[in-house]
Amino acid sequence: MTERIVVGVTDAAASRRAVDWAAQRAAQTGAVLVLIAVTKDSEDSEAVSAGDILLEAETARLSVAIADADLVVEAHAEHGDAVDVLVEASRDAALLVLGDPHPGHHWGDHGRRIATAAHCAVAVVPDADLEGRSGVVVGIDGSEVTEAAVAFAAAEAVRRGERLVAVAAWSPVLVGDGITSGLPGSDYLEPLDLQEPTEELVEHALAAVRAAHPDLAIEKQVQPGDAAQVLQAFASGAALLVVGTHGRGALARLFIGSVSDAVLTDAVTPTIAVR
């Protein structure tokens, strides 16, 4: 079955950046590109036709921008709540792509709601110059979603012919004698260095990838610090950042995960959250 890449389309410049990124990916992978413009329910004929006009313009622009590509494009103008429409469209999609209109700033509640409720992987594309970037960065934290994120990132790196950069961060843990630990003014607290166990965690997460892709160039980066900040530092010059996020369900709709939320809402490069 042919994969479908769904893109939420608006009249913002960030949306055009996301459409271009998704179109290039669809052309490279043979996926169908599905453009969806959502307008609020209205009896106003001008409001109702706004989505159709926008989609016609985007389709025409793509036909010129990617004239040589064998790209199949579907365009749908929908009415209703944008979050609900895009989440529903994600049911039979391999990837849902959203534009981030303000790189370096939080993208708002709508984007977060879509990312947490979507049925497929979600990509956030910043409105920034993406030329000259290389490498696929993946965040590793030892959680149950790490395996899916690493497998996805490795496949992306192989497809692109680029290196895979596995990144993990750790924070020092204060340990003591079990009696005075944690007491104000205690002299028995010492920071526990987690560099070595974190490196072991990363190597364990990469084992299956090394076996499946023996020729893939893999770089490991393990550093102390805030996980989101460390990931963004390595991803700032990368072509793609991949992170794992919680599966759907009652809790997932309310909580995407602090690190995933941070890198999605302040995307420094195209960022994909996988489940």
Q: Is the pLDDT of residue 48 over 70?
A: no
3-state secondary structure of 246: coil
User: Domain with 30 in it: what CATH number?
Assistant: 3.40.50.620
Number of domains in the chain: 2
- Phi, psi (deg, nearest 5) at residue 251: -75, -40
List pLDDT tens digits, range 118-174.
999 999 999 999 999 999 999 999 888 899 999 999 999 999 999 999 999 998 766
pLDDT of residue 181: 47
The predicted structure's pLDDT at residue 51: 80
**Average pLDDT value for the chain:** 85
The pLDDT of residue 188: 56
| Count of Cβ atoms closer than 10 Å to residue 161 Cβ | 9
Which tens digit of pLDDT belongs to each residue from 181-196? 445 555 555 667 889 9
Rg (CA), the chain: 21
Residue where one domain finishes, among candidates 92, 110, 128: 128
- Domain of 41 in residue numbering reads as 1-128
Are 72 and 201 within one domain? no
Q: Are residues 54 and 186 in the same domain?
A: no
CB neighbours of residue 11 within 10 Å: 12
DSSP 196: H
Q: Is residue 28 located within the same domain as residue 150?
A: no
3-state per-residue secondary structure call for 22-56? HHHHHHHHCCEEEEEEEECCCCCHHHHHHHHHHHH
C-alpha to C-alpha distances, 118 to 27, 164, 191, 257, nearest whole angstrom: 23, 26, 40, 14
Q: Band of the pLDDT at 252, cuts 50, 70, 90?
A: very low
| pLDDT reported for residue 68 | 61
Using CB atoms within 10 A of its CB, is residue 245 exposed (0-12), middle (13-18) or buried (19+)? buried
When pLDDT is averaged across residues 223-240 and rounded to a whole number, the result is: 96
Domain at 141, CATH number: 3.40.50.12370
SS3 readout for 107-125:
CCHHHHHHHHHCCCEEEEE
The C-alpha atoms of residue 212 and residue 234 are separated, in whole angstroms, by: 24
Q: Looking at the structure, do residues 158 and 100 belong to the same domain, yes or no?
A: no
Residues 173 and 45 in one domain: no
Do 255 and 139 share a structural domain?
Answer: yes
Distance CA 24, CA 93 (A): 16
Q: What is the pTM of this model?
A: 0.86
Give CA separation, 234 vs 68, 77, 224, 237, 273, in Å. Answer: 33, 38, 13, 7, 17
